[in-house]
Structure 1
Amino acid sequence: MSLQGWIIYNGQIPGSKFLDFAEWIKCSADRKDSHTQIYKNNELHSLISSKKVTFLKNNQDDLPDYVVFTDKDIYLAKQLELQGVHVFNSSEAIAVSDDKILSYQQLARYNIPIPKTIIAPKTFPGISSFASQTIQVAIDTFEFPMIVKEAFGSFGEQVYLIHNEPELINKVNELRGKPFIFQEFIASSYGQDMRLHVVGDEVVAAMRRYSTNDFRANITTGGMMESYHPTKLEKELAIAATKAIGADFAGVDLLLGPTGKPIVCEVNSNAHIRNMFDCTNINVADFMIDYILDRLKEK
Structure 2
Amino acid sequence: MKQTSCAIVHNGNLGSEKFLVQVRWLEKAAAELGFRVRVIGNQELIPAFEGGRSTLKGRYAGYEPDFFFFWDKDVRLARHLERMGFRLYNRASAIETCDDKIRTFEALAGSGLRLPKTLIAPLIFEACGIADYRPYDAVIEELGLPLVVKEAFGSFGEQVYLVHNREELLALEEKLKHRPHLFQEFVAASRGRDMRINVIGSEAAASMRREASGDFRANVTAGGRMFPYDPTEREREVAVACAQFVGADFAGVDLLFGEDGEPYVCEVNSNAHFKNIYDCTGVDLAVRMLSYIREERAETHA
Q: Is the 1:200–1:248 Cα contact (8 Å) retained in structure 2?
A: yes
Q: Does 1:59 align with 2:61?
A: yes
Instruction: Indicate the residue corresponding to 2:230 in structure 1.
Output: 229
How far apart, in 1, do the equivalents of 2:23 and 2:112 lie? 34
1:179 to partner: Cα distance: 0.7
Aligned ranges for residues 27-38 of structure 1 at < 5 Å? Answer: 27-38=28-39
Match of residue 286 from structure 2 = 285
**Which residue of structure 1 lines up, in the alignment, with residue 221 of structure 2?**
220
Pick which of 213-222 and 14-23 moved more: 14-23
Question: RMSD across aligned C-alpha pairs, in angstroms?
Answer: 1.2
Contact 1:130–1:173 (8 Å) recurs in 2: no
Give CA deviations for 1:133-179 in whole Å, capped at 9, x if unaligned. 21011010112100011111011111000011010001112112111
1:146-161 equivalence runs, <5 A: 146-161=147-162
> Quick one: distance in 2 between partners of 1:131 and 1:279?
47
Moved over 6 A (4+): none
Which whole-Å CA distance do the structure 2 matches of 1:133 and 1:106 have between them?
A: 28
TM alignment of 1:186-205, pairs within 5 A: 186-205=187-206
Question: What amino acid sits opposite 2:138 in the alignment?
Answer: V
Q: TM-score, normalised by structure 2?
A: 0.96
**Deviation (angstroms), 1:14:** 4.3
Tell me if structure 2 keeps the 8 A contact 1:256–1:262.
yes
Match of 1:184 in 2: 185
Is 1:129 aligned to 2:130, yes or no? yes
Q: Which moved more, 1:21-30 or 1:89-98?
A: 21-30
Q: CA deviation at 1:239?
A: 0.1
In the TM superposition, residue 203 of structure 1 has moved relative to its aligned partner by: 0.5
Shift of 1:114: 1.0
Query: Is the contact between residue 194 and residue 209 of structure 2 (CA under 8 Å) also seen in structure 1?
Result: yes
User: In the alignment, is the contact (CA less than 8 A) between 2:213 and 2:223 conserved in 1?
Assistant: no
Residues 127 and 176, structure 1, Cα contact 8 Å, conserved in 2:
no
Which amino acid counterpart does residue 169 of structure 2 have in structure 1?
Answer: L
Matching residue of 1:209: 210
Aligned equivalents of 1:183 and 1:50: distance in 2? 47
Amino acid in the other structure paired with 1:157:
E
CA drift at 1:18: 1.9
Tell me the SS of whatever aligns to 2:145: coil
In structure 1, the residue corresponding to 2:109 is in which secondary structure? Answer: helix
2:256 equivalent in structure 1: 255
Tell me, which stretches of 5 or more residues in structure 2 are unaligned? none
Q: Which runs of 5+ in 1 are unaligned?
A: none
AA aligned opposite 2:32: R
Query: What SS class does the counterpart of residue 39 from structure 1 fall into?
Result: strand
User: How much has 1:59 moved relative to structure 2?
Assistant: 3.4
For these two proteins, the number of residue pairs brought into alignment is 298
How much has 1:51 moved relative to structure 2? 3.0
Q: TM-score, normalised by structure 1?
A: 0.97
Moved more, 18-27 or 270-279: 18-27
Give the equivalent residue in structure 2 for 1:13.
Answer: 14
1:90 counterpart letter in structure 2: R
Q: Deviations over 1:22-72 (max 9, x none)?
A: 221121111111111111111111112343211113333x21111111111
